[in-house]
Structure 1
Amino acid sequence: MHRRRFLTNVGYAALGTLTFGALGLYAIQPRRTVLPFIAANNDALPLKPTTPKRVVVVGGGLAGMAAAYELLKRGFQVTLVERSVNLGGRLTGWNVDVNGETMATEHGFHGFFNQYYNLHGLLNELGLRGNFKPVKNYPILFKNKEAECFTNTTTLFPFNLLSVVDQAKSISIMDFNDPMGNIYELMRYDPKDTFARLDNIDFKTFCQGINQPMVDTIVEPFAHTSFNQFHQYSTAEGIKFFHFFYLGNPDGMGYDQTIDDAMTSVVTPLTERLKALGGTILSGMEVQHLIEQDGRITKVVLKRPGEMPAQDHSIDAADVETTWTPFWGSPTDLYYVKRDAQGEFHAVSGRCTHMGCPVGLDAATGGFACPCHGAKYNADGVPTAGPTKMPLVAMNTTREGEQLRLSARATGTTLETDYVVLACDVPGLKEIVAHSTLSNKQFIESVEQLGVADPYIVWRIWLDRTMKPLDVPFYTTSGYQFTDSIAIYSQLQPQYQDWAERHQGSVIELHAYAVEPENVLPEEEVKRIMREELNLLIPELDGASIVYDIYTMQKNFPRWAPGDYAGRPGVETPIENLFLGGDFLRLEVPANLMEAATMTGRMAANHILVAEKLQENPIPSVDLVGPLVIG
């Protein structure tokens, strides 16, 4: 489709008086589109294979669940492997005991934006749209200037852009008075050209070519929600991000929130549907390695989260103390060893049985604590709090002279398969590939080069003081050392509203999206600073006591660093029956976050359908290029 390019080089009068013919205005509007099918005769192909084929999907987040769902509907035999107790990935949740009351918690607040077409399509099929309610406003709270609030008004370009400028107090239309400046690059997203020219430039440097009020008020606060530092974020990825969330979609800035917690609203009903379709779900299991034969993955070997790969480690017995002592067998193999009063040795894996994160010693209890998701274990490795129900994995110990040999207790469970979809996060994918003997070096290198962004923090606190309801339950913030957004859970979910009313309290969740290395401080210091920031954001809570809290620091969001794009793996791999899913993949189609995960899961399923000469499912998308792209 040809587009009519418009430029403006003066202020509000020039933009407001540009005359578009009806056809010209229509031509530049962003539209919902559908990706082309691989086979020209797609509609004539059969829906189901004549002989059921086996698929192993690894990872129970949105990408894995979407892939499994699409394949199960088509008659494939799907086994979904998830290392956590529950499916959901970053949407997963678990119950906590809040001073004697059981309450549902999760990894943090999620907004389900209008342009999440693949995700909303999945929710519609499952009949889950009634579990959501709309949020119309997108406010930003600044530390050093007046708050801004952007309302989801017209979606007609360029009037949607003018509407944002009109609503903003600290920017004006004159901030667009530079047709050769970088602000117009945000409207020219093209997957090939944008990445070829701008992927090697960091977004902070790029934004030096945009008027500073525009950067401070809109660009930087929104870009930070990518969970990447502004100066470590690819300009091309940043332009793609803005295109997807605003300039390239016909649905504006509105989003929905779940009425209840994410497990109740989304994950549990989707899990039940996968089971009803005949899917096998192996939760509390993860992949140890893949077995390749004749250019195909033929077997998937499993283990429990926290188990080491099946290899031995030796340490000096004299180095073992009567309390738990950490040892590293490799950069990824952490274990703890101690000697009891009778001189017997005991060893456990240092990997959390929730998602395999490394646990640390808990000085307060003598046990262990996972800093990522809040799991805690007593001195025997038995879980006492958090999302896991499984104890730390015990290891065999054998004394050999002055040495102590530690042996992993691997399950050895093996799944034979016709296709594999690896839909885990970046750390999980890298670990699987590192422990597998795969033939394609280019693919191995592309996975090795993947990275994760700086860690992010979610801190949910229960306070003993009530607060007046705010206009909306979620706010982006800007200018604070840690706090990047704040969710008022006592306004968000009925269970939390009920708790707040009965206890005359409040429940607040603070998020730090990307914590710089110099700000990775001890937990108590981070909490102290974030509490001070909360007092500035909501002064009426200053002095309120915390009666319960959950603090997690995780590091699993994808890194979008300058220069990463060319070497990033995509949905297809050089191994003919191995496909990937996840929000970290190289994706020319503009999509981000939960939509990218769902879309790539459905794309992986489509590649399997194509391999079996079956009909593909349609994959909807926002407009593939920006409104100022010619041709």
Structure 2
Amino acid sequence: MFSPHTVVAPRPDLPQRVPDDRSSGKVVVVGGGLAGVTAATVLAERGLTVELLEAAPRLGGRLGTWPRTLPDGTEVTVEHGYHGFFRQYYTLRDVLRRIDPDLAFLRDVGGYPVESREWESEDFSDLPTTPLANLAALVWKSPSFRLRDLRKVDGREALAMLRYDPVRTFAEHDHRTTAELLDSFGFSERGRAMLFEVFAHSFFNTEQRYSAAEFLAMCHFYFTGNPEGLGMDVPTDQYAATIWDPFTRLLEKHGATVTTGARATMVVDGPGGWSVGVDGGPTRTARHLVVATDVPATRALFERSPAFATTGPRLAGQVAELPGGEPYVVARLWCRGDVDAAHAPFTGVTRERILDSVTLFHRIEAESAAWASRTGGSVIELHSYACPHDASRDDLVAEMRHELAGLWPEFAALEVLDVDAHLYDNAPGFDPGTHARRPGVVTDARGLRLAGDWVATEIPSALMERAAVTGVLAANDVLREEGVAPEPVRSIAPRGVLARARG
């Protein structure tokens, strides 16, 4: 039960590529993040004519990068923010093996503790990988789950974490908030803060507005149903060098066209397929369209598209009603001096008003490490996954720096030489009661598929893995229409270890 499950099986009885003379299979993919690049890669290697349109100057989406010149004249690459490449991201890893068969560009980040000013830090990564055994080990070793505290836990409610079912869980819990669910569990304040609240914030939502069903789905995917444990890898160098430049070369090798700086302005369905308007460029036409942009960009694209509410009335309504996630801020700091060597490369933070995580990039990324080694400095990223709506970027960064000094007093003595900070509002929201109206990959707009970490699928997944999964599923629907075998997909068990059989 705990080994990877084949969700989409290979079809050796079907052609693996479209015929070379097939002109009908042209595809436009809008959005050059993980979802769009995944869809484009699968389709291009199967022989379809693909153009990938990305509005930004570079590929990447929320894994994007950009250049920056530091005050000392050093040219560096800045990333959108830290991302953990978990071991159960089977689809993402299968896609990444296209550019590195051995995944040699990934390294184990090691332990990643959760820290608080109220309680001693805890590290939940060094646990057995088998579900149930990992839960027992967590309860046994963690001071957040002492016997006297466990006596107050409502076992019937807490077992919902082991009863995950992609249909029943949402029917029973999508109307509740995660805060209400955690209240019903009855865990201690420490246990709730050190594990559950950190977990909810990691999805760019607060427990006060995050669907309890979505939270249980994430518990299943990352912990209670995951046979890989909590092991997390990170790229050994910045994302442009390790991921996006290789993918650009791979796509072009397969004959795809990668066009950056090309914002799609509208999409129109006509007799010859889809027309995609491009800001400052010619209109593209294609039989198949994959929209792989974030929620705000997707909503704006459909609103700008004439008669789209008639072309895909259900999809237009669904996207218009989608909630957005909380605003989040990422700040990269180049400092003179370093923090204590005992700190982990990645640390989760709980019960601070703004600060949610700290990443020491000079201990995981080659470019940052080279700068730190040459200057005797450090490269520190501060991240708030769900920050107040009414705060400015500069105020949020100042508060994160203040909170980190409270956690790590030696940080206050460092001289910050440069700061690259951004406030974003493009994370998906998963509000209670919205699951039933969340669009999936296949839509009522003929020939238009969706992909992204906000798109609904019953395959257990989240964040980067959800982006990759929906990218493959979008490609597979195109391949199905073209009479070509699908790309196989693996995932963890679809249901929890205590889920009842459906009847």
Superposition TM-score, scaled by structure 1 size = 0.75
Q: Give the Cα separation in 1 of the matches to 2:478 and 2:322.
A: 24
- Residue 58 of structure 1 corresponds to 30
Deviation at 1:190, TM superposition (A): 0.2
Checking the alignment, whether the CA contact within 8 Å between 2:177 and 2:209 is kept in structure 1 is yes
- Residue 104 of structure 1 corresponds to 77
Q: Give the Cα separation in 2 of the matches to 1:276 and 1:242.
A: 39
AA paired with 1:493?
Answer: E
Checking the alignment, whether the CA contact within 8 Å between 2:112 and 2:345 is kept in structure 1 is no
- Superposition pairs of residues 477-492 of structure 1, within 5 angstroms: 477-492=349-364
Q: Give the Cα separation in 2 of the matches to 1:218 and 1:468.
A: 24
Q: Give the Cα separation in 2 of the matches to 1:150 and 1:599.
A: 26
Checking the alignment, whether the CA contact within 8 Å between 1:203 and 1:238 is kept in structure 2 is yes
Q: Give the Cα separation in 1 of the matches to 2:422 and 2:334.
A: 15
Q: Give the Cα separation in 2 of the matches to 1:556 and 1:539.
A: 33
Q: Give the Cα separation in 2 of the matches to 1:550 and 1:36.
A: 42
- Superposition pairs of residues 490-505 of structure 1, within 5 angstroms: 490-505=362-377
Residues 33/502 of structure 1: CA separation in 2 closer, same or farther (3 Å cut): same
Unaligned ranges ≥5, structure 1: 1-28, 304-410
Among 196, 205, 209, the residue aligned to 1:232:
209
Deviation at 1:542, TM superposition (A): 1.3
- Which secondary structure state, in structure 1, belongs to the residue aligned with residue 12 of structure 2? helix
Q: Give the Cα separation in 2 of the matches to 1:184 and 1:516.
A: 32
Among 491, 497, 502, the residue aligned to 1:627:
497
Residues 175/244 of structure 1: CA separation in 2 closer, same or farther (3 Å cut): farther
Q: Are positions 1:87 and 2:62 aligned together?
A: no
Checking the alignment, whether the CA contact within 8 Å between 2:329 and 2:396 is kept in structure 1 is no
Deviation at 1:166, TM superposition (A): 2.4
- Residue 416 of structure 2 corresponds to 546
- Residue 7 of structure 1 corresponds to none
- Residue 45 of structure 1 corresponds to 14
Residues 127/525 of structure 1: CA separation in 2 closer, same or farther (3 Å cut): closer
Checking the alignment, whether the CA contact within 8 Å between 2:125 and 2:229 is kept in structure 1 is no
Q: Give the Cα separation in 2 of the matches to 1:566 and 1:442.
A: 12
Q: Are positions 1:263 and 2:135 aligned together?
A: no
Checking the alignment, whether the CA contact within 8 Å between 2:154 and 2:186 is kept in structure 1 is no
Among 466, 480, 490, the residue aligned to 1:610:
480
Q: Are positions 1:301 and 2:284 aligned together?
A: no
- Residue 297 of structure 2 corresponds to 428
- Superposition pairs of residues 526-541 of structure 1, within 5 angstroms: 526-541=396-411
Checking the alignment, whether the CA contact within 8 Å between 1:422 and 1:579 is kept in structure 2 is yes
Deviation at 1:424, TM superposition (A): 0.7
Residues 470/267 of structure 1: CA separation in 2 closer, same or farther (3 Å cut): farther
- 1:269-303 per-residue CA deviation (whole Å, 9 max, x = no partner) reads 11111111111011101111111125x84311111
Q: Give the Cα separation in 2 of the matches to 1:224 and 1:576.
A: 36
- Superposition pairs of residues 373-452 of structure 1, within 5 angstroms: 411=280, 413-436=282-305, 437-438=307-308, 439=310, 440-452=312-324
Q: Give the Cα separation in 2 of the matches to 1:502 and 1:46.
A: 54
AA paired with 1:49?
Answer: V
- Residue 467 of structure 1 corresponds to 339
AA paired with 1:123?
Answer: L
Q: Are positions 1:510 and 2:382 aligned together?
A: yes
Q: Are positions 1:35 and 2:7 aligned together?
A: yes
Deviation at 1:543, TM superposition (A): 3.0
Residues 158/57 of structure 1: CA separation in 2 closer, same or farther (3 Å cut): same
Q: Give the Cα separation in 1 of the matches to 2:147 and 2:252.
A: 54
AA paired with 2:54?
Answer: E
Q: Give the Cα separation in 2 of the matches to 1:74 and 1:176.
A: 54
Q: Give the Cα separation in 1 of the matches to 2:125 and 2:489.
A: 29
Deviation at 1:180, TM superposition (A): 4.2
Deviation at 1:494, TM superposition (A): 2.4
Q: Give the Cα separation in 1 of the matches to 2:145 and 2:314.
A: 47
- Superposition pairs of residues 324-339 of structure 1, within 5 angstroms: none
Unaligned ranges ≥5, structure 2: none
- Which secondary structure state, in structure 2, belongs to the residue aligned with residue 181 of structure 1? helix
- Superposition pairs of residues 157-172 of structure 1, within 5 angstroms: 157-172=131-146
Q: Give the Cα separation in 1 of the matches to 2:281 and 2:40.
A: 24
- Which secondary structure state, in structure 1, belongs to the residue aligned with residue 124 of structure 2? strand
Deviation at 1:151, TM superposition (A): 2.9
Q: Give the Cα separation in 2 of the matches to 1:412 and 1:490.
A: 40
- Which secondary structure state, in structure 1, belongs to the residue aligned with residue 112 of structure 2? strand
Among 77, 82, 96, the residue aligned to 1:123:
96
Q: Are positions 1:71 and 2:43 aligned together?
A: yes
Q: Give the Cα separation in 2 of the matches to 1:173 and 1:46.
A: 59
- Which secondary structure state, in structure 1, belongs to the residue aligned with residue 104 of structure 2? helix
Checking the alignment, whether the CA contact within 8 Å between 1:111 and 1:257 is kept in structure 2 is yes
- Which secondary structure state, in structure 1, belongs to the residue aligned with residue 386 of structure 2? coil
Checking the alignment, whether the CA contact within 8 Å between 1:31 and 1:248 is kept in structure 2 is no
Q: Give the Cα separation in 2 of the matches to 1:219 and 1:174.
A: 19
Checking the alignment, whether the CA contact within 8 Å between 2:8 and 2:486 is kept in structure 1 is no
Checking the alignment, whether the CA contact within 8 Å between 1:171 and 1:217 is kept in structure 2 is no
| Percent of aligned positions that are identical | 31
AA paired with 1:500?
Answer: A
- 1:415-455 per-residue CA deviation (whole Å, 9 max, x = no partner) reads 11010000011111111111112223221101101121111
- 1:215-256 per-residue CA deviation (whole Å, 9 max, x = no partner) reads 222111112101101100000000001111111111010010
Residues 523/630 of structure 1: CA separation in 2 closer, same or farther (3 Å cut): closer
More divergent stretch after superposition (194-203 vs 537-546): 537-546
Q: Give the Cα separation in 2 of the matches to 1:510 and 1:608.
A: 40
Q: Are positions 1:149 and 2:123 aligned together?
A: yes
- Residue 335 of structure 1 corresponds to none
- 1:115-136 per-residue CA deviation (whole Å, 9 max, x = no partner) reads 0001111122322611111123
Checking the alignment, whether the CA contact within 8 Å between 2:154 and 2:185 is kept in structure 1 is no
Superposition TM-score, scaled by structure 2 size = 0.94
Among 574, 580, 589, the residue aligned to 2:450:
580
- 1:524-549 per-residue CA deviation (whole Å, 9 max, x = no partner) reads 32232212112122211213221111
AA paired with 2:345?
Answer: P
Residues 179/514 of structure 1: CA separation in 2 closer, same or farther (3 Å cut): closer
AA paired with 2:358?
Answer: I
- Superposition pairs of residues 167-178 of structure 1, within 5 angstroms: 167-172=141-146, 175-177=149-151, 178=153
- 1:369-391 per-residue CA deviation (whole Å, 9 max, x = no partner) reads xxxxxxxxxxxxxxxxxxxxxxx
Q: Give the Cα separation in 1 of the matches to 2:131 and 2:330.
A: 36
Q: Give the Cα separation in 2 of the matches to 1:628 and 1:453.
A: 31
Larger Rg over CA atoms: 1
AA paired with 1:611?
Answer: E
